Amino acid sequence: MVPELLIRGQGLGVKRGGRDILKDADLTLEVGKIVTLIGPNGAGKTTLVRTILGLMKPDSGSLQRKPGLRIGYMPQKMHVDPSLPLSVERFLTLGGKPRLALPEVLALTGIEHLHRARLQNLSGGETQRVLLARALLRDPDLLVLDEPVQGVDVRGQAALYDLINDIRHKQGCGVLLVSHDLHLVMANTDTVVCLNQHVCCQGHPEEVTSDPAYLALFGGTLEPQVALYTHHHDHHHDAHGDIVPEDTRPDA
């Protein structure tokens, strides 16, 4: 069965001040698929994402979107004034009317116990889960996650990536995941797109990391840092990323 198309950009180009900041870029996003966009700083990742989201009009190329497409966006980070007494529940209920019930979203992201906590008191991993929960409230067809492990320690990164993978299966949504950390490409990614103003190469993570264009861009000095993340589900994590002992899990 051919996956349902969410967005297809072909030959996308953006110019600023007569200079190409994005040139002839192709990107296809489909239901149930995770696409990871990688590249160095200044590669045009933000420009491509803004174009895909419809926030920036391309100077060239075409953009095809599923009619009525719903997108959930998760920013890199969030700053909340320490003097603002804002709880997780209040933060998630601000804005437009959600399509999913709050308890459902809290359960999906594993933060049921944090609904009354103040945002300022959350750890990095907990904060990212709250931002992910907010993106899910619209019951999106497509999740766009900009550096989703920003501010999360190594221990919690695997748990967060596992969560993203679980959500795409449970919700049947597509995922566009943006990263500049080459060594954090996860094995659950269906397609990696390597960008440096244009698409250098794309394909399965193992194919991309051995592609001559990829190696020419990032060089041998970074090669030892590149690893495909593989995580085996022989245990469970809490919202902090800690391993939960078998005898203390709710469903044990």
Task: Read off the pLDDT of residues 68-88 as tens digits, 9 standing for 90 and up.
Answer: 999 999 988 777 787 888 999
Q: Which residue has the higher pLDDT, 53 or 234?
A: 53
Q: Which residue has the higher pLDDT, 87 or 158?
A: 87
**Average pLDDT of the chain?**
84
pTM: 0.83
The CATH code of the domain at 10-77+142-209+218-231 is 3.40.50.300
How far apart are the C-alpha atoms of 239 and 152, rounded to whole Å?
11
Q: Give the number of other Cβ atoms within 10 Å of residue 42's Cβ.
A: 12
Give me the residue spans of the domains in the chain: 10-77+142-209+218-231
Q: Give the number of other Cβ atoms within 10 Å of residue 82's Cβ.
A: 9
Average pLDDT of the residues in 186-193: 84
What's at 159, amino acid-wise?
A
> Which range is least confidently modeled, 34-38, 76-80, 218-222?
218-222
Q: Are strands 142-146 and 5-16 parallel, antiparallel or unpaired?
A: unpaired
pLDDT at 250: 44
How far apart are the C-alpha atoms of 68 and 70, rounded to whole Å?
6
